[in-house]
Amino acid sequence: MSVHTAAPRQRSSSASSAAKALPLRLVAPVRSRAKRAPFVVVVLSFLGVGLLGLILISTVLQAQAFEIARLNAQAQELEVQQQGLQSDVQRLQAPASVAERAMQLGMVPNANPVFLDPAEREVIGDPTPAEPRTNVKQVDR
Protein backbone atom coordinates (compact mmCIF):
# COMPACT_ATOMS: atom_id res chain seq x y z
CA MET A 1 0.00 0.00 0.00
CA SER A 2 1.28 3.25 -0.91
CA VAL A 3 0.29 6.42 0.80
CA HIS A 4 -0.20 9.41 -1.36
CA THR A 5 0.07 12.70 0.27
CA ALA A 6 -1.44 15.57 -1.50
CA ALA A 7 0.57 18.66 -1.72
CA PRO A 8 -1.16 21.77 -0.52
CA ARG A 9 -2.67 23.69 -3.35
CA GLN A 10 -1.31 27.01 -4.09
CA ARG A 11 -3.74 29.77 -4.73
CA SER A 12 -3.66 31.12 -8.12
CA SER A 13 -2.24 34.55 -8.38
CA SER A 14 -5.43 35.98 -9.90
CA ALA A 15 -7.61 34.85 -6.94
CA SER A 16 -5.21 36.22 -4.38
CA SER A 17 -4.92 39.53 -6.15
CA ALA A 18 -8.75 39.87 -6.24
CA ALA A 19 -8.98 39.20 -2.53
CA LYS A 20 -6.35 41.81 -1.83
CA ALA A 21 -8.16 44.38 -3.92
CA LEU A 22 -11.37 44.32 -1.79
CA PRO A 23 -11.15 46.25 1.42
CA LEU A 24 -12.13 44.47 4.67
CA ARG A 25 -15.20 45.67 6.46
CA LEU A 26 -17.16 44.75 9.62
CA VAL A 27 -20.17 42.56 9.10
CA ALA A 28 -23.19 42.89 11.39
CA PRO A 29 -23.48 39.93 13.69
CA VAL A 30 -26.06 37.31 12.75
CA ARG A 31 -29.27 37.97 14.64
CA SER A 32 -29.42 35.49 17.40
CA ARG A 33 -32.63 33.76 18.25
CA ALA A 34 -35.08 35.58 20.46
CA LYS A 35 -33.84 36.07 23.93
CA ARG A 36 -34.81 33.08 26.01
CA ALA A 37 -35.47 34.77 29.35
CA PRO A 38 -38.79 36.47 28.42
CA PHE A 39 -40.01 33.31 26.69
CA VAL A 40 -39.22 31.20 29.74
CA VAL A 41 -40.97 33.71 32.00
CA VAL A 42 -44.10 33.64 29.82
CA VAL A 43 -44.18 29.83 29.66
CA LEU A 44 -43.64 29.50 33.41
CA SER A 45 -46.34 32.07 34.14
CA PHE A 46 -48.79 30.17 31.91
CA LEU A 47 -47.92 26.95 33.72
CA GLY A 48 -48.33 28.64 37.10
CA VAL A 49 -51.70 30.14 36.19
CA GLY A 50 -52.82 26.77 34.82
CA LEU A 51 -51.82 24.94 37.99
CA LEU A 52 -53.51 27.53 40.19
CA GLY A 53 -56.63 27.19 38.05
CA LEU A 54 -56.58 23.41 38.46
CA ILE A 55 -56.20 23.73 42.23
CA LEU A 56 -59.08 26.19 42.37
CA ILE A 57 -61.34 23.98 40.26
CA SER A 58 -60.43 20.94 42.36
CA THR A 59 -61.25 22.81 45.57
CA VAL A 60 -64.60 24.01 44.23
CA LEU A 61 -65.52 20.52 43.03
CA GLN A 62 -64.59 19.02 46.40
CA ALA A 63 -66.76 21.58 48.21
CA GLN A 64 -69.63 20.80 45.87
CA ALA A 65 -69.18 17.07 46.51
CA PHE A 66 -69.54 17.69 50.26
CA GLU A 67 -72.64 19.80 49.61
CA ILE A 68 -74.14 17.04 47.45
CA ALA A 69 -73.51 14.47 50.19
CA ARG A 70 -75.17 16.73 52.77
CA LEU A 71 -78.17 17.35 50.54
CA ASN A 72 -78.52 13.61 49.80
CA ALA A 73 -78.59 12.87 53.53
CA GLN A 74 -81.20 15.59 54.04
CA ALA A 75 -83.29 14.20 51.16
CA GLN A 76 -83.23 10.75 52.75
CA GLU A 77 -84.36 12.17 56.09
CA LEU A 78 -87.17 14.07 54.39
CA GLU A 79 -88.21 10.96 52.48
CA VAL A 80 -88.47 9.00 55.74
CA GLN A 81 -90.51 11.87 57.22
CA GLN A 82 -92.79 11.91 54.17
CA GLN A 83 -93.38 8.17 54.40
CA GLY A 84 -94.30 8.56 58.09
CA LEU A 85 -96.73 11.36 57.27
CA GLN A 86 -98.30 9.31 54.46
CA SER A 87 -98.85 6.38 56.82
CA ASP A 88 -100.46 8.75 59.35
CA VAL A 89 -102.78 10.11 56.64
CA GLN A 90 -103.75 6.59 55.55
CA ARG A 91 -104.41 5.59 59.16
CA LEU A 92 -106.55 8.69 59.74
CA GLN A 93 -108.50 8.15 56.49
CA ALA A 94 -109.44 4.58 57.40
CA PRO A 95 -113.20 4.13 57.90
CA ALA A 96 -112.76 2.90 61.48
CA SER A 97 -110.74 6.00 62.37
CA VAL A 98 -113.28 8.32 60.72
CA ALA A 99 -116.15 6.60 62.59
CA GLU A 100 -114.31 6.85 65.91
CA ARG A 101 -113.61 10.58 65.46
CA ALA A 102 -117.24 11.17 64.41
CA MET A 103 -118.46 9.49 67.59
CA GLN A 104 -116.05 11.60 69.65
CA LEU A 105 -117.61 14.70 68.09
CA GLY A 106 -121.08 13.52 69.13
CA MET A 107 -122.35 12.21 65.82
CA VAL A 108 -124.77 9.30 65.89
CA PRO A 109 -124.51 6.34 63.50
CA ASN A 110 -127.69 5.66 61.55
CA ALA A 111 -128.89 2.10 61.66
CA ASN A 112 -131.16 2.65 58.65
CA PRO A 113 -129.06 4.12 55.83
CA VAL A 114 -130.63 5.73 52.78
CA PHE A 115 -129.13 5.89 49.26
CA LEU A 116 -129.64 8.40 46.48
CA ASP A 117 -129.93 7.38 42.80
CA PRO A 118 -128.92 10.43 40.75
CA ALA A 119 -129.89 8.83 37.41
CA GLU A 120 -133.49 8.19 38.51
CA ARG A 121 -133.58 11.15 40.91
CA GLU A 122 -135.09 9.11 43.69
CA VAL A 123 -134.30 8.11 47.26
CA ILE A 124 -133.84 4.40 47.88
CA GLY A 125 -134.81 3.32 51.37
CA ASP A 126 -136.92 4.77 54.18
CA PRO A 127 -135.27 7.85 55.70
CA THR A 128 -135.59 7.86 59.49
CA PRO A 129 -133.59 10.07 61.84
CA ALA A 130 -130.98 8.45 64.05
CA GLU A 131 -131.75 8.02 67.73
CA PRO A 132 -129.92 10.44 70.00
CA ARG A 133 -127.30 9.02 72.37
CA THR A 134 -126.98 5.77 70.48
CA ASN A 135 -123.31 6.30 69.95
CA VAL A 136 -122.49 5.19 73.50
CA LYS A 137 -120.84 1.82 73.47
CA GLN A 138 -122.22 -0.74 75.85
CA VAL A 139 -119.91 -2.88 77.85
CA ASP A 140 -121.11 -6.43 78.61
CA ARG A 141 -120.02 -7.91 81.90
In this predicted model, what pLDDT tens digit does every residue of 68-83 receive, in sequence order? 999 999 999 999 999 9
Instruction: Say whether pLDDT at 128 is over 90.
Output: no
Q: Average pLDDT for residues 111-133, to the nearest whole number?
A: 85
Q: Mapping DSSP to helix (H, G, I), strand (E, B) and coil, where does residue 123 land?
A: strand
Q: Where does the pLDDT of residue 63 fall: very low under 50, low under 70, confident under 90, or very high at 90 and above? A: very high
Q: Where does the pLDDT of residue 59 fall: very low under 50, low under 70, confident under 90, or very high at 90 and above? A: very high
Q: Alpha helices of the chain — where are they, by DSSP H?
A: 13-21, 36-93, 95-104
Per-residue pLDDT, 24: 83
Share of the chain above pLDDT 70, in %: 77
Instruction: Say whether pLDDT at 47 is over 60.
Output: yes
